[in-house]
Amino acid sequence: MSFARVRALAVVGILIVAAAVFVIVAVVKDRQGGGSPEAKKCAEGSVMANAKLPRQEDVKVTVFNATNRSGVASDVANDFLSRRFKEAKVVTAAPNPPVTKPGDEVAVIRYGPQTVGAAWLVRAYFLNEADAQFDKARQDDKVEIILGGRFRQLPTTTEVNQAIAALGNPELPAGTCAQDG
SS3 for 8-71 is HHHHHHHHHHHHHHHHHHHHHHCCCCCCCHHHHCCCCCCEEECCCCCCHHHCEEEEEECCCCCC
pLDDT along the chain (181 residues), means of 10: 89 94 87 56 82 92 88 93 91 58 79 94 94 91 91 93 92 84 46
Domain spans of the chain, in order of start? 3-41, 48-170
DSSP state of 153: -
Check residue 173 and report its DSSP letter: P
CATH code of the domain occupying 48-170: 3.30.70.2390
Predicted TM-score (pTM) of the model is: 0.72
Question: Cα(128)–Cα(105) distance, rounded to whole angstroms?
Answer: 12
